[in-house]
Amino acid sequence: MAVGRPAIGLDLGGTKILAVVISPEGRLLGRAGHPTPHSGRSALLGAMAGAVREAAAAAGVNVWETAGIGIGAPGPTDPEAGVLLEPPNLPLDCHNLPLRDLLQPELAARIEVENDANVAALGEHRFGAGRGVADMVYITVSTGIGGGLLTGGRLLRGAGFTAGEIGHMAVAPDGHDICGCGRIGCWEAVCSGTAIARQAREAVLAGRAPGLLARVGGDPAKLTPAEVTGAAAQGDPAARAIVDRVVTYNGVGLMNLLHLLSPGMIVIGGGLTHAWDALVAPAIAWAQAHALRRPAAACRMVRAELGDLVGGMGAAALLSDGAPD
Ligand SMILES: [Zn+2]
């Protein structure tokens, strides 16, 4: 970002909009949040502009004085045109929404638009665990699995702007795990929080997991990843089998990333990192043990640092991506 000027980051989520103002060093100067309206594009644009203005006011700056506004948006985006393409969980009239053209005149500031996983990768690279690491992979594991790739300190977007869709790398295509995308055996179809809960329900419904069923009072709908890892830690064999499978395929996914990109660091965030010791640490060990020696030795795999602010801070970092600073 331009030397000395704060930048605004806007994290557009399916349930909430968060705007932050940060200093060039990544210090939080102001923030404002709103629930995401679902009544159409004009309400959405109004809420986004309102959050930006409120965050700027909280930081004591004028929007036009900042380096600009970075927007991290769900689903695929066209970062060159500044367009939101197909955001999941937002009304249909928000598809193909030219955010830059619509917000730039109103807010009188430079606007950059990027997919939220790429934004999070950039945030960890600039301000979080990946500071100073030129070749970095970011992975977020929660209800799905997403990612972002930095090579030579820059986001790798790909020809279709979809590079880093690592959740849909196939890890078990001969299995029975159907992904939300319709394919079989995507990484997120085996290892996301949604997938862990699904495997637990399947085990219960097949009569293979009486311990798990008892744990949730006989209601399979209450099976969560935390219940599965908790039961596994206490020695429940069905839960242990699910955890072992998830760990192995997490390890396969990490190993594939090591072989493809030879990153200096893989930063892992998202809700499932709460189960770091059960699901992540043993997967890292698996990948380090099975991968080619050189990429394994060159890579550290660590926990993300920015937490809930990663989207906003990463969006603000869009104002400096690739720029000399
Ligand atoms: Zn998929």
Q: What are phi and psi of 91, to 5 degrees?
A: -60, 155
Is the pLDDT reported for residue 166 higher than 80?
Answer: yes
What is the predicted pLDDT for the residue at 4?
A: 82
What's the order of all strands across the beta sheet hosting 300-303? 154-155, 145-151, 136-141, 265-269, 300-303
Is the pLDDT reported for residue 18 higher than 60?
Answer: yes
Q: pLDDT tens digits, residue range 170-201?
A: 999 999 999 999 999 999 999 999 999 999 99
- C-alpha 99 to ligand 1 mean position (Å): 27
How far is C-alpha 89 from the chain's CA centre? Answer: 16
How far is C-alpha 193 from the chain's CA centre? Answer: 13
- C-alpha 292 to ligand 1 mean position (Å): 26
Alpha carbons 93 and 304: distance in angstroms, whole number: 34
| Residue 184 CB coordination number (10 Å) | 15
- C-alpha 61 to ligand 1 mean position (Å): 42
- C-alpha 202 to ligand 1 mean position (Å): 19
What is the predicted pLDDT for the residue at 88?
A: 85
- C-alpha 208 to ligand 1 mean position (Å): 27
- C-alpha 143 to ligand 1 mean position (Å): 13
Q: Which two tokens stand for residue 37?
A: 């309206």
**Distances in Å between the alpha carbon of 275 and those of 119, 186, 201, 253, 280?**
24, 21, 19, 17, 7
Is the pLDDT reported for residue 247 higher than 80?
Answer: yes
Is the pLDDT reported for residue 62 higher than 90?
Answer: yes
Radius of gyration of the chain from its Cα atoms, rounded to whole angstroms? 20
Rounded to the nearest integer, the mean pLDDT of the chain is 95
Residue carrying the six token digits 């004085």: 65
Q: Where are the alpha helices (DSSP H) in the chain?
A: 41-59, 99-107, 116-127, 187-191, 193-205, 210-215, 225-233, 237-261, 281-290, 293-298, 310-317
Question: In the 3-class helix/strand/coil scheme, how is 138-154 assigned residue by residue?
Answer: EEEECCCEEEEEEECCE
- C-alpha 270 to ligand 1 mean position (Å): 18
User: Which residues crowd ion ligand 1, with CB under 5 Å?
Assistant: 168, 179, 181, 183, 186
Alpha carbons 285 and 277: distance in angstroms, whole number: 11
Alpha carbons 221 and 200: distance in angstroms, whole number: 10
The helix (H) or strand (E) run that includes residue 112 is strand 111-115
- C-alpha 181 to ligand 1 mean position (Å): 4
**Distances in Å between the alpha carbon of 61 and those of 48, 57, 94, 169?**
17, 6, 29, 43
Q: 113: which strand partners?
A: 71
- C-alpha 155 to ligand 1 mean position (Å): 22
What pTM, to 2 d.p., does this model score? 0.93
- C-alpha 59 to ligand 1 mean position (Å): 40
- C-alpha 145 to ligand 1 mean position (Å): 9
Q: DSSP character for 319?
A: T
The helix (H) or strand (E) run that includes residue 167 is none
What is the predicted pLDDT for the residue at 89?
A: 84
- C-alpha 110 to ligand 1 mean position (Å): 34
- C-alpha 26 to ligand 1 mean position (Å): 34
* Mean per-residue pLDDT, 245-266: 98
- C-alpha 178 to ligand 1 mean position (Å): 8
Alpha carbons 284 and 261: distance in angstroms, whole number: 16
- In 3D space, the residue among 147, 249, 148, 232 whose CA is nearest the CA of residue 195 turns out to be 249
- C-alpha 74 to ligand 1 mean position (Å): 16
* Mean per-residue pLDDT, 206-234: 96
* Mean per-residue pLDDT, 213-234: 96
- C-alpha 168 to ligand 1 mean position (Å): 4
Alpha carbons 233 and 242: distance in angstroms, whole number: 12
* Mean per-residue pLDDT, 44-62: 97
Q: pLDDT tens digits, residue range 137-163?
A: 999 999 999 999 999 999 999 999 999
- C-alpha 165 to ligand 1 mean position (Å): 9
Alpha carbons 30 and 8: distance in angstroms, whole number: 9
- C-alpha 184 to ligand 1 mean position (Å): 7
223 band by pLDDT with thresholds 50, 70 and 90: very high
Alpha carbons 127 and 35: distance in angstroms, whole number: 26
Domains in the chain, please, with CATH? 7-125+309-317 (3.30.420.40), 132-304 (3.30.420.40)
Q: Are 72 and 51 in contact (CB under 8 A)?
A: no
- C-alpha 180 to ligand 1 mean position (Å): 6
- C-alpha 167 to ligand 1 mean position (Å): 6
The helix (H) or strand (E) run that includes residue 179 is none
What is the predicted pLDDT for the residue at 321?
A: 55
- C-alpha 54 to ligand 1 mean position (Å): 38
* Mean per-residue pLDDT, 92-102: 96
